[in-house]
Amino acid sequence: MKKILERIIEIPEGIEITVKDKTFVVKGKGKEISKSFDMGKITVSIKDKKVNISAKKFTRRESKMVGTIWAHLKNMIKGIEEDFVYKLEICNVHFPMNVKVDGDKVIIKSFLGETTQRVSRIMPNSKIDIKGNEITISSPDIEAAGQTAANLEKATKLVGKDRRIFQDGIYITEKCGREI
């Protein structure tokens, strides 16, 4: 078994990464993303435009955490360079849905002819654009964009009805450039 486990990430030009206690902050191009991790025995050092994540005398837990922190940092850098984009489609058969953004919420009216409104939360640092039957969510934080899309899909989830017949709802059609 190895005695030292380490992963190295190259920092691109125009991006600045700082580590304070357990919090990583990635800045660049007018955007900022911060995340906190339970570090345990993991050490992080930044030298010569490289982030070194390492653990000495590691267990499985530290091995997993090194990989997790490495993957999150790569996604944070990628998000600073270019926003993560999710595309959703509003599908209705008989009753047209009215979907509008109201502050940090999305209000869905007339879902399956219901008189009550369904509300979905928009995560911080996410932007929503609604054009016709297409909803576009963009954010530099992949978790915020994905959770906002999931909240919209969950708000129109059917309970107690056959989904083969009642196909109305809001569905994710594309995430981060990959069609579903």
Classify 137 as helix, strand or coil: strand
- Rounded CA gap, 7 and 79, in Å? 20
By DSSP bridging, strand 105-109 and strand 98-102 are antiparallel
pLDDT score at 1: 55
Where do the DSSP E strands lie in the chain? 4-10, 16-20, 23-28, 31-36, 42-47, 50-56, 84-91, 98-102, 105-109, 118-121, 127-131, 134-139, 169-175, 178-179
- Residue 136 contacts residue 86 (beta carbons within 8 Å): yes
Kindly state the tokens that stand for 89: 């489609």
Closest by Cα among 127, 96, 126, 101 to 111 = 96
| 180 residues of the chain, pLDDT tens digit each | 568 899 999 999 999 999 998 899 999 999 999 999 988 889 999 999 999 999 998 889 999 999 999 999 999 999 999 999 999 999 998 889 999 999 999 999 999 999 999 999 999 999 999 999 999 999 999 999 999 999 999 999 988 999 889 899 999 999 987 888
Mean pLDDT over all residues of the chain?
93
- Single pTM value for the model: 0.89
In the chain, where does DSSP find H-type helix?
Answer: 60-81, 142-155
Q: Which domains does the chain have, with CATH numbers?
A: 4-81 (3.90.930.12), 84-179 (3.90.930.12)
